[in-house]
């Protein structure tokens, strides 16, 4: 089986290419993965229908014949990590080559999505065109290094992490003058008053209890991103 990732957009920054190269190596030898970048149609004064038609034509030209087409769509079937792994195993047993198709800034052509074999979203957080760069840290020390290198606008910090827990990580972040005013949102399955108070003590701005909804997470993002946008620039 071969898995094609067909994505609209060709100007991939170095950090994204590095992440892709690293991730692609993790797949087993019997599951080959290849990325096909499709040119984004210039927006300018064109209508959305014209843009959709041009990008659809390029997408269809990039998909090899006989592939099962799976469109990533925010209204598609929600898959957990476990369900996605099961889906991959099913595709392998069926011996189908699969094309995972990701749209551009305006998403995928509605007609193309209707004709796809499947429409999925990886989670409730799969959005059509989120203008956000997300960095994942595996533990507190990894987080501190990535924060120092990338100056994030918003930090989500899990409390239960190996080596350095979320409380310790948040305290270190807030002690650094560069990040004193960077919002930190703590994430935890614990919802006790003591746990939330401890988060406040180390400097976090908000505390989200798992499992949280898409609306709660997006609400937190909007709250701090909107505040940053509205703040006067010096």
Residue 14 has pLDDT above 80, yes or no: no
Residue 100 has pLDDT above 90, yes or no: yes
Do 105 and 129 form a contact (C-beta atoms < 8 A)?
Answer: yes
Q: What is the Cα–Cα distance from 182 to 94, expressed in whole angstroms?
A: 48
Helical ranges in 11-108 per DSSP H: 14-24, 48-62, 81-94
Phi-psi region of 80 (alpha: psi -120 to 50; beta: other; left: phi over 0): beta
The arithmetic mean of pLDDT across residues 48-72, rounded, is 93
Residue 234 has pLDDT above 80, yes or no: no
Question: In which band, very low, low, confident or very high, does the pLDDT at 157 lie, cut at 50, 70 and 90?
Answer: very high
Cβ contacts of residue 2 below 8 Å, gap of 6+?
31, 32, 33, 34, 97, 98
What percent of the chain is predicted at pLDDT more than 90?
Answer: 43
Q: What is the Cα–Cα distance from 56 to 176, expressed in whole angstroms?
A: 48
For the entire predicted model, the pTM comes to: 0.56
* CA atoms lying within 13 Å on the CB side of residue 23: 11
Cβ contacts of residue 12 below 8 Å, gap of 6+?
20, 37
pLDDT at position 158: 93
| Long-range contacts of residues 210-215, Cβ cutoff 8 Å, at least 24 apart | 212/187, 213/124, 214/124, 214/125
The distance from CA 38 to its chain's CA centroid, rounded to whole angstroms, is 19
Residue 90 has pLDDT above 60, yes or no: yes
The arithmetic mean of pLDDT across residues 34-62, rounded, is 90
Q: Which residue ranges make up each domain of the chain?
A: 2-121, 140-230
Q: How many CB atoms lie within 10 A of CB 108?
A: 22
Residue 191 has pLDDT above 90, yes or no: no
- For the domain covering 2-121, report its CATH number: 3.40.1280.10
Do 87 and 109 form a contact (C-beta atoms < 8 A)?
Answer: no
pLDDT at position 74: 81
Q: What is the Cα–Cα distance from 48 to 56, expressed in whole angstroms?
A: 12
- For the domain covering 140-230, report its CATH number: 3.40.50.2300
pLDDT at position 200: 93
Averaged pLDDT of the chain: 86
Positive/negative CA dihedral, 73, 7, 142, 172: negative
Residue 173 has pLDDT above 80, yes or no: yes
């Amino acid at each position: 089986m071969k898995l094609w990732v067909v994505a609209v957009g060709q100007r991939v920054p170095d950090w994204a290419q590095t992440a892709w190269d690293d991730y692609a190596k993790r797949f087993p030898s019997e599951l080959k993965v290849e990325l096909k970048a499709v040119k984004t149609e210039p927006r300018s004064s064109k209508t959305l229908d014209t843009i959709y038609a041009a990008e659809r034509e390029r997408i269809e030209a990039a998909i090899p014949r006989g592939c099962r087409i799976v469109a990533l769509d925010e209204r598609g079937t929600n898959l957990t990590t476990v369900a996605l792994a099961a889906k991959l195993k099913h595709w392998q047993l069926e011996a189908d080559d699969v094309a995972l198709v990701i749209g551009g800034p305006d998403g995928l052509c509605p007609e193309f999505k209707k004709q796809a074999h499947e429409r999925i979203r990886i989670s409730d957080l799969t959005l059509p065109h989120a203008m956000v760069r997300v960095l994942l840290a595996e533990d507190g020390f990894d987080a501190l290094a990535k924060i120092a290198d990338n100056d994030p606008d918003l930090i989500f910090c899990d409390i239960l992490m190996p080596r350095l827990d979320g409380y310790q990580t948040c305290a270190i972040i807030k002690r650094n003058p560069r990040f004193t005013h960077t919002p930190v949102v703590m994430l935890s399955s614990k919802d006790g008053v003591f746990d939330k108070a401890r988060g406040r003590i180390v400097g976090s701005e908000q505390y989200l209890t798992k499992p949280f909804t898409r609306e709660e997470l997006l609400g937190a993002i909007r709250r701090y991103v909107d505040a940053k946008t509205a703040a006067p620039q010096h």
